[in-house]
């Protein structure tokens, strides 16, 4: 008895070549998207807008802006906490957008090291 593959399976080398082309196209699309996201900026605030932090899609801190009234030499810890909170929120936004867009592009395919 001879086993048969379902229709659309098999084909040997031609299917492997097609799969390789699709993988290469996916990698190129992901590279383009990654570069676009790295150029984006993400901004978040804390303390009711007292502190504003901007990060890049490369996950690098770009700017920290704060209202003069939050600079209190007697309470440096509060200012530090507001900066950390705003920076973490901006970094989370950058990371979330990258993950969502890469997942959408890859159709949910999760290959370690791909992105």
Spans of all domains in the chain? 41-105
Q: Which CATH class is domain 41-105?
A: alpha beta
Query: In this predicted structure, what is the pLDDT of residue 74?
Result: 92
pLDDT for res 1: 58
Query: Under DSSP, is residue 30 helix (H, G, I), strand (E, B) or coil?
Result: helix
Confidence at residue 14, expressed as pLDDT on a 0 to 100 scale = 75
Confidence (pTM): 0.71
pLDDT tens sequence across 4-30? 656 655 556 678 888 888 889 888 999
């Amino acid at each position: 008895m001879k086993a048969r593959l379902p229709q659309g399976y098999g084909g040997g080398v031609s299917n492997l070549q097609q799969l390789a082309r699709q993988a290469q196209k996916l990698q190129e699309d992901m590279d383009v998207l990654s570069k676009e996201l790295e150029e984006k900026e993400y901004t978040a605030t804390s303390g009711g807008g007292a502190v504003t932090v901007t990060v890049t899609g490369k996950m690098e801190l770009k700017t920290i802006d704060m209202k003069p009234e939050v600079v209190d030499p007697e309470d440096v810890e509060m200012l530090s906490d507001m900066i950390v909170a705003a920076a973490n929120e901006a970094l989370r936004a950058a990371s979330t957008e990258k993950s969502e867009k890469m997942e959408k592009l890859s159709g949910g395919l999760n290959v370690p090291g791909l992105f």
